[in-house]
């Protein structure tokens, strides 16, 4: 039985996914806000003896094997490192870090600990993008050389539990650049798992919002892959528009995929043996639902957040711990996808300057752990 401690009371979708399993259970919870702590602990059914306001107290006193981090993003790395150093496994919400130096600290801590670190990029686990991934794995798109992802989410009204201006106004919309790219990037990059980002450039439309926020209204990041392919990411959290959190497009030599922007169905146009010119006409993505891995068709994730994705990402975390195998969403992918945000800040403030992406991998030398201009 994997015993999990939760830090951050906003992780309830993950909590439900953990407690739905026979081999995992939430056994402790921590939150600075005592009201949130008690409300969520009551929802879970946790005794007062396993409720903590101080994170270090939970690590010292709770009977836990792993920590699920769902706190504000500036807390992720310090809390992950403390958990790893205490001998616990870690699953961390996005983004992985708020500075490039933090990424190096995190990687070094994971490597030294020998524990499992998993990046909680749950958008990778939506059934639509898992179907697209299965099609990519089957070669139906041919060689993928272009993709797009967009995260357009008006966050200007988001406040903390008590209705006050919270951390997002500082650590997200208080910075320039594409501060939150991994929901757009992860589902794309999992379709080309052997490729990596080589360099990025970030451009913005300028600052037009009336809120006094530093973040530009729209940020566009162009990522050049090591294969030569391109990925375009849009992050916009202040423009006045309806939410559209999951728009994606993939283009390959054998066809393409396109998600709906404002409703409708996901579409593909691909060449098949039955129709070698299938790229000329759209088909519903559901025509290829038979390629979706069985576990996603089982209904096990029904009711979990992100289309059931929160259930399956927890399943992969628990399996990684049980088999002592680093997951696909490991610390190196977490670092690369998060670094897009951090390097975009430097790029956009220097007129779209191209920034080289470090080759995140085990055994990096000290010389590689720096930003190159």
For 225-243, write each residue's pLDDT tens digit. Answer: 999 999 999 999 888 888 8
Q: How confident is the model at residue 209 (pLDDT cuts 50, 70, 90)?
A: confident
Helix intervals (H) in the chain: 12-19, 34-44, 55-61, 76-85, 100-113, 127-137, 182-189, 294-297, 309-323, 331-348
Strand partners, 250: 147, 257
How confident is the model at residue 160, as a pLDDT?
A: 52
Q: Catalogue all structural domains in the chain, each as residue range(s) with its CATH number.
A: 124-293+330-373 (3.30.360.10)
Residue of 347 and 159 predicted with greater confidence:
347
Q: Look at residue 323 and tell me whether its pLDDT is greater than 90.
A: yes
Residue with tokens 């759209």: 282
**Reported confidence tier of residue 165, pLDDT bands at 50, 70, 90:** low
Residues near 196 by beta carbon (within 8 Å), at least 6 away in sequence: 225, 226, 336, 357, 359
Q: What is the pLDDT of residues 282-294, one digit of tens each?
A: 999 999 999 999 9
With vertex at residue 314, the alpha carbon angle to CA 313 and CA 315, rounded to the nearest 5 degrees, is: 90
Which range (112-116, 234-238, 355-359) has the least confidence? 234-238
Give Cα 70 to chain centroid, integer Å.
Answer: 12
Average the pLDDT over each of 35-39, 184-188, 206-210 and give the range with the smallest value: 206-210
Q: CB–CB of 43/12 below 8 Å?
A: yes
Q: What is this structure's pTM? A: 0.94
């Amino acid at each position: 039985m994997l015993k999990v401690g939760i830090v951050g009371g906003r992780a309830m979708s993950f909590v439900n996914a953990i407690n739905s399993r026979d081999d995992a259970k939430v056994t402790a919870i921590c939150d600075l806000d005592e009201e949130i702590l008690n409300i969520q602990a009551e929802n879970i059914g946790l005794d007062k003896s396993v409720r903590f306001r101080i994170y270090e107290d939970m690590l010292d006193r709770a009977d836990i094997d792993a920590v699920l981090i769902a706190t504000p993003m500036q807390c992720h790395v310090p809390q992950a490192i403390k958990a790893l150093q205490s001998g616990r496994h870690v699953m961390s919400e996005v983004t992985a870090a708020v500075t490039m130096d933090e990424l190096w600290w995190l990687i070094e801590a994971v490597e030294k600990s020998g524990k499992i670190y998993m990046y909680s990029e749950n958008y990778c686990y939506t059934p639509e993008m898992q179907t697209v991934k299965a099609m990519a794995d089957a070669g139906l798109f041919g060689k993928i050389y272009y993709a797009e992802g967009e995260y357009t989410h008006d966050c200007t009204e988001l406040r903390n539990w008590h209705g006050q201006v919270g951390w997002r106004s500082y650590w997200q919309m208080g910075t320039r650049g594409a501060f939150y790219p991994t929901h757009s990037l992860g589902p794309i990059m999992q379709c080309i798992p052997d490729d990596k980002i080589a360099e990025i450039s970030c451009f913005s439309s300028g600052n037009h919002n009336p809120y006094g926020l530093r973040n530009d209204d729209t940020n566009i990041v162009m990522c050049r892959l090591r294969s030569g392919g391109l990925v375009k990411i849009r992050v916009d959290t202040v423009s006045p528009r309806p939410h559209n959190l999951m728009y994606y497009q993939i283009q390959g030599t054998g066809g393409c995929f396109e998600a709906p922007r404002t409703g409708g169905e996901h579409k593909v146009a691909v060449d098949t043996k039955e129709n070698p010119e299938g790229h000329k006409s759209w088909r519903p993505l559901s025509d290829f639902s038979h390629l979706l891995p069985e576990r996603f068709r089982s209904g096990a994730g029904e009711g979990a957040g992100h289309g059931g994705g929160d259930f399956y990402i927890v399943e992969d975390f628990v399996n990684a711990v049980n088999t002592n195998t680093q997951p696909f969403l490991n610390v190196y992918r977490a670092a690369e996808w998060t670094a897009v945000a951090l390097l975009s800040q430097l790029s956009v403030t220097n007129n779209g300057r191209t920034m080289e992406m470090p080759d995140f991998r085990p055994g990096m030398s000290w010389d590689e752990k720096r930003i190159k201009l």
